Amino acid sequence: MPPLYLTYMNRFDVEALRITDDEVLAAIEDQLATQGRGEAVIEPRMHLEPGVVHGHFNVLRGSLGGEVDAAGVKVVSDFYDNYKYNLPSELAILMLFDRFKGVPRAIIDASAITDMRTGAVTAIGAKYLARKNSKVLGHIGARGTAYWNVRLLDKLFHFEEIRVHSRRPESRDAFAARLEKDLGKRIVVTDDWESCVRGADIVVEASRLTKPEPLLKTEWIKKGALVMPYGTMSAVELSLADLADKFLMDDFGQARAGRFGALRPHFDAGILHEGRYHAEIGQVVAGLKPGRESDDETILFWHRGLSLSDIALGHAMLKKGEALGIGQRLRFG
């Protein structure tokens, strides 16, 4: 057997790449189009629950064709109480493989990848599904993915008003301060869900609940809005689905994968089902299905997170690292 090597990239290597917003968005938009054309393989995520704390592990698997010939597996922890230990709630490792030979190619700290690719799917979803003149963003949640949601959404829409809310005052204040510094604009911090969400053009629900609780009320959503819930536990009322003219997902195969997910109760109750489903966002990006067709449409987009997005962004980071000499070359076999 010839010598085999793989690249290891830790958090400091990933930071040294200084990957740009445009690079993140391009990698994910290309991935969604590839998926939409049927040039990828994705399997529903799996969950491992230790049963001793508020937390679980997600295992995501996929193989991405097109211009990115790579397969991969990501394991990401989601531990609600990590803020007590000054740790992120989500920590992740991505393993990339040659999809033709199965040879390991890289091990990458994917904590930042998780945040970036989630924000990119949110932003690209809005690019195709929100009204072009959207001016007000209402964002619930302040974890790492939340930052990239707001950052990349604002890059595309240049909002006149950005409202944020999360459960802990210190969390939402720190979140707003970081956004104000990086975006160079005032962020409105709200003390409650209603003042954050009511009348917003784009609503993102990325809350951190330990159990389902309908905190986001359907009556607050204005006609023509885009609503994107992706929290682990449902925070929306069942009636939200009745409001939507179109319902989309990132991958419909994950609609019933595991017990977690913002719209899981809607599927369990039969309110959302295959006949209620419009398209996967990749089909819209690829031009195979229409996105928003009028300003009056109220659209619901649920993204659960794609292994393919992790693979695409990890591949882009690996290529940039090779060009810049960033990362550690390890002997595998």
Please, how many CA atoms are within 13 Å of residue 222, restricted to the half-sphere of its CB?
A: 19
Query: Does 65 have pLDDT greater than 80?
Result: yes
Average pLDDT, the chain: 91
CATH 3.40.50.720, the chain: domain bounds: 121-304
| Per-residue confidence (pLDDT) for residue 218, from 0 to 100 | 93
Query: Does 256 have pLDDT greater than 90?
Result: no
- Segments in 158-253 forming alpha helices (H): 169-183, 193-197, 240-243
How far apart CA 38 and CA 69 sit, in angstroms, is 14
Query: Does 214 have pLDDT greater than 60?
Result: yes
| Per-residue confidence (pLDDT) for residue 225, from 0 to 100 | 98
Say what angle helices 21-36 and 144-157 make with each other, to 10 degrees. 90
Query: Does 211 have pLDDT greater than 80?
Result: no
The answer for residues whose C-beta is within 8 angstroms of residue 278's C-beta and 6 or more apart is 246, 247, 248, 289
Average pLDDT (43-54) is 84
| Per-residue confidence (pLDDT) for residue 240, from 0 to 100 | 79
Average pLDDT (65-71) is 85
Q: Check if the beta carbon of residue 248 is closer than 8 Å to that of residue 279.
A: yes
Q: Which amino acid, one-letter code, is at 299?
A: I
How far apart CA 34 and CA 40 sit, in angstroms, is 7
How far apart CA 212 and CA 147 sit, in angstroms, is 23
What's the distance, Cα to Cα, between the start and end of the chain in Å? 8
Average pLDDT (26-34) is 96
Which percentage of the chain shows pLDDT scores above 90? 70
CATH 3.30.1780.10, the chain: domain bounds: 5-113+308-331
SS3 content of the chain, % helix, strand, coil (to 5): 35, 25, 40
CA pseudo-torsion sign 47, 306, 157, 183:
positive
- Segments in 192-234 forming alpha helices (H): 193-197
| Per-residue confidence (pLDDT) for residue 80, from 0 to 100 | 78
Q: Check if the beta carbon of residue 226 is closer than 8 Å to that of residue 134.
A: yes
Kindly state the tokens that stand for 238: 């069942």
For 57-78, give one letter per residue: b (16+ CB within 10 A) or e.
Answer: bbebbbbbbeebebbbbbbbbb
CA angle 213, 218, 219 (to 5 degrees): 130
Tell me the β-bridge partners of 299. Answer: 226, 246
Helices (H) and strands (E) in the chain, counts: 10, 15
CATH topology of domain 121-304: Rossmann fold (3.40.50)
Comparing 143 with 223, the larger pLDDT belongs to 223
Q: Look up the pTM and report it.
A: 0.90
Query: Does 83 have pLDDT greater than 60?
Result: yes
Domain range 5-113+308-331, CATH class: alpha beta
Kindly state the tokens that stand for 61: 């698997």
How far apart CA 142 and CA 206 sit, in angstroms, is 8
CA pseudo-torsion sign 256, 258, 262, 264:
positive
How far apart CA 201 and CA 171 sit, in angstroms, is 24
Kindly state the tokens that stand for 130: 């929100």
The answer for residues whose C-beta is within 8 angstroms of residue 186's C-beta and 6 or more apart is 180
Tell which phi-psi region holds residue 165, choosing left (phi > 0), alpha (psi between -120 and 50) or beta.
beta
